[in-house]
Amino acid sequence: MSFTVVIPARMASTRLPRKPLADLAGKPMVVRVAERAAQSGAARVVVATDHQEIVDACAAHGVEAMLTREDHASGTDRLAEVAGRLGLPADAVVVNVQGDEPLIEPALIDRLAGALVSSQLPMATMAHPIDSAADFFNPNVVKVVLDQDGLAAYFSRAPIPYARDAFAERTDTLPAGLPALRHIGMYAYQAGFLSVYATLSPSPLETFEALEQLRVLWHGHRIAVVTVDEAPAAGVDTPADLERVRAILTN
């Protein structure tokens, strides 16, 4: 199975300015991510960015990077541009690895790419079980509910599925057997679907939830979901996250 990893990397970041270039034990974060992705079975790893400085930093470390348009509304739109410019065939597999995941496990990338192929669907993503009531009720933790075929029925920041009777008694613990899943923000696409996605109009659901994957469901497309046992290593969103990853890489 052959697949391409594309890593969107925007210079602008509200909570952590210049995040892709943040130093992690002597290398920019986006380079660390690309190196992890290269340890997967990917045939090619490309950083897709809106800033020449990121292209230059990647080049200095032997990482392929492509300068894309600055006006993309989402990372998926940026992927669509890259897939088109690379001339990928419609059935080619493209895995979107976020540029702030320097500790991503290469095996997860492989597994997601394989799941897309076996599902014969245009898009796939990942999830893991939630075992904490605090996480379940946290709106920053995105939940996904699956149908009987393991496909995404809905993504939400709300606590879903909601155990009405159990939570009427207490909300500090989760009832046994509740199929609570946390969405992992990594995606695989058929390259041809990326060009379709770029034409889809935003949905009211994604506007309220601030979750762009809801656009896919809104327009009637299906998303396969791979469930893994444990959460992957946390990404970098804040200065505290940055220091945590620096300590891990240094030690």
- Looking at the domain assignment, is residue 15 inside a domain? yes
> 31 with 61: CB under 8 angstroms?
yes
- Looking at the domain assignment, is residue 203 inside a domain? yes
- Looking at the domain assignment, is residue 143 inside a domain? yes
- Is residue 1 over pLDDT 90? no
108: DSSP letter: H
> How do residues 79-130 score in pLDDT, each as one tens digit?
889 999 999 999 999 999 999 999 999 999 999 999 999 999 999 999 999 9
Structural domain for 79, as ranges: 3-232
- Looking at the domain assignment, is residue 249 inside a domain? no
Q: Report the CATH number at residue 14.
A: 3.90.550.10
- Looking at the domain assignment, is residue 246 inside a domain? no
- Is residue 13 over pLDDT 80? no
- Looking at the domain assignment, is residue 34 inside a domain? yes
- Looking at the domain assignment, is residue 38 inside a domain? yes
> How do residues 53-91 score in pLDDT, each as one tens digit?
999 999 999 999 999 988 777 778 888 899 999 999 999
Query: In the chain, how many domains are there?
Result: 1
- Looking at the domain assignment, is residue 124 inside a domain? yes
> 80 with 67: CB under 8 angstroms?
no
Other Cβ atoms within 10 Å of 172 Cβ, number: 8
Nearest to 29 by CA among 251, 240, 233, 236: 236
